[in-house]
Amino acid sequence: MTTAQKISQESIYRERTPGSFEAFKRAGEVMPGVAKGAYYYAPYPVTIARAEGCHLYDVDGNRYVDFANHHTTQILGHNHPAVVQAVERQLAQGIAVAAPMGIETALADELCRRVESLEMVRFCNSGTEATLHAIRLAREYTGRHLIAKFEGGYHGSHDAVEISTSPDPAKAGPADRPVPVASAGGMPPNATDNVVILPFDDEAAVEAIVAEKRDELAAVILDPKTGVIPQRMDFVRAVREITARYGVLLILDEIVGFRASPGGVQAQCGILPDLSTYGKIVGGGFPAGAFGGRRELMSLLDPTLGKARVFQSGSFSAHPVTMAAGLAMLEVLTPDVYAGLDRLTDRLVHGLEDVFARTGTVATAATSGSTFSIYFTGGPVRTYRAVAAADKGPVSAVYLGLLNRGYYLSNGLAMNCLSAAMDESHIDGLVEAVAGTLEETRS
């Protein structure tokens, strides 16, 4: 792709979005660039005025079909009436109080009913907090300190897991024996000492590393993903078998898992993790996290049994409005809704594959559940090293090209998803928009 063509996508974008540019400039005066890191892409993000169903409307009046859906959370589309009504009902009872209001038990019941491995759950405010607390539980329960995570796996932003999320392969060691690399500045130098890195998609390497570290290893945390680096189900099952064989706990990160099925990825694979972590959909669009698992493990949190061995609380944890929204969203997510989403996702992936073939583009649509990623590499993409080897050159121009055509994806094209507010016309529209954008931006 030539610089002139890249500039042309950007100049169309700038012409369409002067109000967003003004909003971006004002924001940068009082926040470092943007309000949160994920908002930013070059040259500046669109500022959204309103969301409804599967559409976003920006401050300049442009309409987009939303394939980002609030980082995958809005699986029903925006402002689903069941969620809005549940929130309004809860608000009428009071925004929040420093006491249980009962609605949290209803959501806990729903989660334990849907997911066989959940005997008990606790609530927090984000996926980050959920993995933090699940890891503490695993360490306290086993009396061991090491955590194993997969290279390229993302489990939120705390020191135990923000390691090797997107390392420079040149610094990350051999593919079957990766070394831990801190992902963010500001971590203590010994943060990497507590983490062992495993490669995705390689059962033999996983077994060798787990066997070697078994005496120090509290847990393996695995995001089977739903989207960014989708894993084979038999690989997920193998990780469950390996951890069980060596007496190491398995934490399944299901923070995007309710994209896959009513019981998450674990129900699809037929496994029972020791602990599972949740976020996104469980809060129905409000800040949420949850973690849960076997009673014996979760009991370490129980203050009625004496002093809890692991403390977990938080001013906003189990917020009643979040609980009401999450419960309403889960209740709408019946098997039929999943079947409809899966049908649309199949149509999209086939459509994209046809477009890649038709336009001679070396690219892959990686998918699982109703999430999808576009990588400029031949597939399949099942390891971090495969993602790292993909051509990043076209991403920005294609992303801007799609915005210019009225399609809003995740800004690295890696964590896109459908919503139940879409129909075939939105899917076919995106396929044609990708075709048009690729034609326009290819070298």
Ligand X SMILES: Cc1ncc(COP(=O)(O)O)c(C=O)c1O
The site for ligand X (CB under 6 A) is made up of: 71, 126-128, 131, 154-156, 223, 253, 255-256, 279
Residue 255 C-beta: closest distance to ligand X, Å: 4
Listed in order, strand segments (DSSP E) in 103-171 are: 120-124, 146-150
Instruction: Measure the CA–CA gap between 257 and 263, rounded to whole angstroms.
Output: 8
Closest distance between ligand X and the C-beta of residue 256, in Å? 5
* Location of structure tokens 């890696």: 414
- Pairwise CA distance, residues 280 & 254, whole Å: 10
Q: Determine which one of 280, 399, 407, 408 is catalytic.
A: 280
Q: Residue 268 in 3-state DSSP?
A: helix
- Amino acid in position 239: V
Length of the chain: 443
Residue 326 CB, nearest distance to ligand X (Å)?
13
Both tokens of 129, joined, read 């907090």
Which CB atom, from 257 or from 351, has the smaller least distance to ligand X? 257
Q: Are 164 and 172 in contact (CB under 8 A)?
A: yes
Tell me whether residue 157 or residue 377 sits nearer to ligand X (CB atom). Answer: 157
Instruction: CB nearer to ligand X: give 288 or 352.
Output: 288
- Backbone φ, ψ for residue 110 (5° rounding): -60, -45
Could you tell me the CA-to-CA distances from 412 to 94, 286, 393 in Å, in that order? 39, 23, 11
Strand pairing partners for 222? 252
CB of 117 to ligand X, least distance (A): 17
Residue number with the smallest Cβ distance to ligand X: 127
Per DSSP, what are the bridge partners of residue 65? 55, 407
Nearer to ligand X, 62 or 126 (CB): 126
**In this structure, what token pair is assigned to residue 288?**
């949420």
Give 279's strand partners: 289
In the residue annotation, 280 being an active-site residue is answered as yes
Q: Confirm whether 225 is a catalytic residue.
A: no
* Shorter beta-carbon distance to ligand X: residue 279 or 369: 279
Q: Which is nearer to ligand X, 386 or 417 (CB)?
A: 417
Separation CA 348–CA 354 (nearest Å): 10
Instruction: Say if strands 217-222 and 146-150 run parallel, antiparallel, or are unpaired.
Output: parallel
In 3D space, the residue among 233, 211, 231, 232 whose CA is nearest the CA of residue 220 turns out to be 211
Q: Name the minimum Å distance from CB 162 to ligand X.
A: 10
Cα–Cα distance for residue pair 282/112, rounded to 1 Å:
12
The smaller minimum CB distance to ligand X, of residues 21 and 291, is found at 291
Could you tell me what percentage of the chain is helix, strand and coil, using 3-state DSSP and rounding each to the nearest 5? 45, 15, 40
CB of 282 to ligand X, least distance (A): 10
Catalytically annotated residue among 58, 202, 223, 253 = 253
Q: Smallest distance from the beta carbon of 184 to ligand X, in angstroms? A: 14
Residues 6+ apart with CB under 8 A from 273: 117, 240, 250, 251, 252, 266, 293
Q: Which C-beta is closer to ligand X: that of 155 or that of 385? A: 155
Q: Which two tokens stand for residue 284?
A: 């129905």
213 is known as an active-site residue: no
Phi, then psi, of 198 in degrees rounded to 5: -115, 150
Please state, in angstroms and rounded to a whole number, the distance separating the CA atoms of residues 204 and 411: 34
Find the shortest distance in angstroms from Cβ 211 to ligand X. Answer: 26
Query: Which listed residue (64, 154, 375, 407) is catalytic?
Result: 154
Say which residues have a Cβ less than 8 Å from residue 11's Cβ, sequence separation at least 6. none
- As annotated, the active-site residues are 154, 253, 280
